[in-house]
């Protein structure tokens, strides 16, 4: 305990032979994730999940603004007389927030609910069943793990994840576990169409032809990251996920009704309140680069919570791994010179996956006169 009576795990271990790597490996070797800890009935979180004192201080330093809300855009009438209005709303949100929620997006509520249910049922299976899918092999199309940056981050975060990699428009049903197979395939098909619609709106918002970004392959390859955040006995000591920006072109997020997602806006954390039937959209790193900083890829995080589980399904539209990216020449002029170098997407992803989410934003390494210090090619596949 510290002077205030609060738990101080760093002081508790100050004179002990604490072996962080050993504890990380012991947790990883259970192949049961955070859900396994909860099932064991823990009342205090292990030290590997506790944010360092400086990170906790930083988390408390940035205030929350409960009066702000990310923009909400109604896509109804997108093919009619509301089209220009919707494009303008997407432009304003992408420039000022980098985040917005969409309603009337064309995906039935039943599809959204079934996907949430399928993800929950996968994570709440018996641990012995899930262990067959537990791996850190990034080449696997489907994998279950806890904290993709477990060994790189300053502290583990309170979540488990199942990841589905889709390098093309098709996925083989047998690649997915039976418990969520039907729901996942249905959701994947719907979200791919919405991604193409949003890419058209974003192209127009940049004063480009509607098919410009899609023709570049920006929506072709996708990764679905399905997070499960169990109720946490000490949420004030950890996070669900660290603040970060997404190493993709675009992200579409489905979440259940338990909040926790926050966006950094004007140096304030803003809650992204769940809206029934809505999906959260954010412009990500690659689009910020393509737009030469016209659109923003902003930092966001998820809080740990005493209630749960919080469930989210993030679809990252990655672009093409073999693609070469940089500021679009159509947007460059003498007054608007390139703010980023051209690069291979595999190089960008390699840098992202070689470090923890809580490290320096990857965007910073791809500005002129910066070196990405990229890891080996083997780290580049998500």
Note the pLDDT tens digit of each residue in 179-231.
999 999 999 999 999 999 999 999 999 999 999 999 999 998 999 999 999 99
Point out which residues pair with 65 in neighbouring strands. Answer: none
Identify any residues that bridge with 315 across adjacent strands, giving them in sequence order: 224, 252
User: Which CATH class, in words, describes the domain spanning 40-338?
Assistant: mainly beta
How many degrees, rounded to 5, is the angle at CA 288 between CA 155 and CA 241?
A: 20
Mean pLDDT, rounded, of the chain: 90
Task: List alpha helices for the chain, DSSP H.
Answer: 9-12, 20-30, 33-39, 53-61, 83-96, 109-123, 127-130, 181-205, 212-215, 285-290, 345-353
Q: How much is the pLDDT for 120?
A: 98
What is the average per-residue pLDDT within 221-244?
Answer: 96
Domain boundaries, the chain: 40-338
pTM of the model: 0.90
- What's the confidence (pLDDT) of residue 170? 65
Mean pLDDT of 341-347: 91
Do 311 and 227 form a contact (C-beta atoms < 8 A)?
yes
């Amino acid at each position: 305990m510290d002077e205030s009576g609060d738990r101080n795990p760093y002081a508790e271990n100050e004179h002990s032979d604490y072996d962080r790597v050993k504890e990380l490996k012991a947790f990883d070797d259970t192949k049961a994730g955070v859900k396994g800890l909860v099932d064991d009935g823990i009342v205090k979180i292990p030290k590997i999940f506790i944010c360092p004192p400086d990170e906790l201080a930083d988390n408390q330093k940035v205030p929350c603004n409960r009066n702000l809300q990310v923009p909400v855009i109604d896509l109804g009438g997108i093919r009619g007389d509301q089209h220009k209005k919707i494009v303008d709303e997407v432009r304003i949100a992408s420039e000022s927030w980098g985040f917005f929620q969409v309603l009337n997006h064309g995906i039935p509520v039943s599809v959204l609910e079934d996907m949430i249910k399928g993800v929950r049922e996968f994570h709440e299976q018996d641990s012995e069943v899930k262990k067959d899918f537990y791996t850190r092999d990034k080449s696997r199309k489907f994998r279950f793990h806890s904290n993709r940056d477990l060994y790189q981050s300053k502290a583990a975060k309170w979540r488990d994840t199942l990841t589905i990699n889709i390098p093309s428009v098709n996925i083989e049903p047998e690649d997915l576990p039976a418990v969520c197979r039907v729901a996942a395939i249905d959701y994947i098909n719907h979200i791919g169409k919405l991604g193409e619609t949003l890419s058209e709106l974003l192209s127009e918002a940049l004063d480009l032809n509607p098919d410009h970004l899609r023709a570049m392959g920006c929506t072709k390859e996708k990764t679905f990251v399905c997070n499960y955040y169990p109720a946490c006995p000490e949420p004030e000591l950890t996070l669900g996920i660290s603040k970060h920006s997404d190493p993709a072109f675009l992200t579409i997020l489905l979440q259940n009704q338990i909040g926790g997602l926050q966006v950094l806006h004007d140096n304030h954390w803003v809650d992204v309140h769940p809206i029934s039937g809505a999906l959260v959209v954010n412009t990500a790193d690659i689009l910020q680069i393509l737009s030469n900083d016209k659109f923003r890829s902003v930092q966001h995080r998820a809080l740990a919570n005493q209630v749960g589980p919080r469930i989210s399904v993030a679809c990252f539209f990655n672009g093409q791994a073999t693609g070469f990216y940089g500021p679009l020449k159509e947007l460059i002029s003498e007054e608007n010179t390139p703010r980023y170098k051209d690069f291979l997407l595999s190089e960008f992803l390699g840098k992202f996956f070689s470090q923890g989410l809580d490290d320096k934003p990857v965007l910073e390494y791809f500005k002129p006169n910066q070196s990405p210090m990229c890891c080996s090619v083997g780290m580049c596949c998500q």
